[in-house]
Structure 1
Amino acid sequence: MKHKQTIVVKIGGVALGSNDTTVEDVVHLQQQGKQLVVVHGGGKLITEWLKMHGIATRFVGGQRVTDRDSLAVATAVLAGLVNKEIVAAINQLGGRAVGISGADGSLAQCRIEDEKLGYVGKIVRVNTELLDTLLGAGHVPVISPLGIYAFDRPDGAPYILNINGDIFASEIAAAIGAENLIFLTDVPGICDRSGDLLSRLSAGEAEELVASGIASGGMIPKIRGCIRVVEIASATCIIDGRQPHTLRQQIEGRGGGTTIYKD
């Protein structure tokens, strides 16, 4: 089912601090009649827990390399600690939220993305049935970026795969035909080589920034996610989640950051 009035919001670890207003904005927007899906990350907390357990952290192309031990920690942190903290906060502030992962209801069905990344999934199919039910009942689905190892899984391999949260959010937005995809991050938006904010970019211009190396690291999957969705969404944005009420302002047309539009 398509949800053309739905806003998909990707929040990272920056939106989990005690002074953050993102949860307040989610509740406010829901109470104003907006339909939202929240996808969260938790990379910083995963890194902390890996360090506590003596497990090294490696990244390739902005994505975490996930071995079996890392996968166990990522699953516990994402589907447990982070997801339930966000859900509890939304509900406590008067919203209606339900926490799930991409494994629930076979939402995100995956194969291995790249052997070099380990147990990191590439989403092959999105089953929106559970999202349809939750959105239809007036809930905000809060989703941790895990999926099921549904394709080409060898015997003895895990059933769960870790998925880059930015890529996950864009695939969900594409599958439900979302009106808007918004990434909240810890920088003002996409910047040029001089560090100046680029407020508007075409999909082609954004891709050129990746190809030239001006956009790098964790910004790459955000840009690629926006490009993935811009064909169907009215807007795709990367905004500064550190600023108070930035999500609400973006929805109300008063936001900053970078908007990526169709060529």
Structure 2
Amino acid sequence: MARAMTKITSATTYTEEEEKGWATARTLAEALPFIQIYDREIVVVKYGGHAMGEEATAKLFASDIVLLKLLGIHPIVVHGGGPQISAMLGRAGVKSTFVDGLRVTDNATMEIAEMVLSGAVNKEIASWITRAGQEADVRGVGLSGKDAGLITVEKATRVKKDPDSMIEQIVDLGYVGEPKQVDDKLIRTLIGDVNHDYVPVIAPIGVSDEGQTFNINADTVAGAVAAKMEAKRMLLLTDIIGVLDENKELIRQLTVTEARALIESGVASGGMIPKLETAIAAVEAGVEAVVILDGRRPHAMLVELFTEHGAGTLIKAG
């Protein structure tokens, strides 16, 4: 790469571009303590359907994942794809219903969900990572929970109260599963390969003991993988800034106890409840901390991991 030549004297005034170079150097120096904290540690990143955004956003995400790998971190990507599934179901004329944020999944829906998640979305994310890391030979490897018995599931059920009779009823979600077991051998083989820099990219599809394919909530998969891999951090990239208090202000840090209190008081509602529940379960299973942050903001992961103030809401043990 060609370099501009500047004659250095005691009276030299640097150009705007040169000042940017000095600013970059200062940023790298300030990040050093945090880089050392995460050296050779595992970071599980849940890349949500809404956080995927446009192509430019996807490229930035892939570049940041490559940077994490080159800094000595082992990133593992677990992705969703709800909006993409909904779009494909709409084109196929298949209507969706949801219970507690989970898509009721019949045979037709399951076929489309697997096609979208394990096919188009998974391979596209893996491809973006490979392209972003081609100069350094960092490669995204697309997987689903069905590969090498990665994720064994059991059928998920939900209980709802009838608002009139207050009688609890079991709701059949169809082919929606919850992780029962994560077999980490394949993931550890990939990230432990000293000759290659592989980044596992996992689609939230699993299989039961009987061989039936199930759709799984991607947050839940990320939590299960992070727990099994004893991750240093789990990052839940979504389309909101983080957890908000009753005044709609960002909460920078929560204990598990405080997170539960937000759910019980109703301050946390809607889609934030399952995210907090996933974070709580992951922390209690051994993950050091979980962070909920806005994946649409460029370099949100880098700000979270390598700066003192972070970028979202961090949940850890009390």
Residue aligning to 2:279: 226
Deviation at 1:16, TM superposition (A): 4.5
Deviation at 1:119, TM superposition (A): 0.6
Unaligned runs of 5+ in 1: none
Alpha-carbon contact 2:246-2:267 (below 8 Å) kept: yes
Secondary structure at 1:190 match in 2:
coil
After superposition, the CA RMSD in angstroms is 1.5
Change (3 A) 1:122 1:84: same
Amino acid at match of 1:260: I
**Of 226, 235, 240, the match for 2:294:** 240
Secondary structure at 2:287 match in 1:
coil
Residue by residue, what CA displacement relative to the aligned partner does 1:168-206 show, whole Å, maximum 9, x if unpaired?
100000011111101000000011233211111111111
Residue aligning to 2:239: 186
1:105 lines up with 2:158 in the alignment? no
Residue aligning to 1:260: 315
Deviation at 1:210, TM superposition (A): 2.0
Deviation at 1:146, TM superposition (A): 0.6
How many residues of Structure 1 are paired with residues of Structure 2 in the alignment? 254
TM-score by length of 1: 0.92
**Of 199, 221, 242, the match for 1:140:** 199
Identity score, percent: 40
**Of 180, 193, 198, the match for 1:124:** 180
The structure with higher relative contact order (CA 8 Å, sep 6+) is 1
Alpha-carbon contact 1:67-1:118 (below 8 Å) kept: yes
Unaligned runs of 5+ in 2: 1-39, 158-170
**Of 39, 42, 52, the match for 2:81:** 42
Higher-Rg member (1/2) = 2
Deviation at 1:235, TM superposition (A): 2.0
Where does 1:4-83 land on structure 2 (aligned, <5 Å)?
5-13=41-49, 14-20=51-57, 21-83=60-122
Where does 1:207-218 land on structure 2 (aligned, <5 Å)?
207-218=260-271
Moved over 3 A (4+): none
CA distance in 2, matches of 1:212, 1:104: 41
Residue aligning to 1:177: 230
Alpha-carbon contact 2:53-2:296 (below 8 Å) kept: no
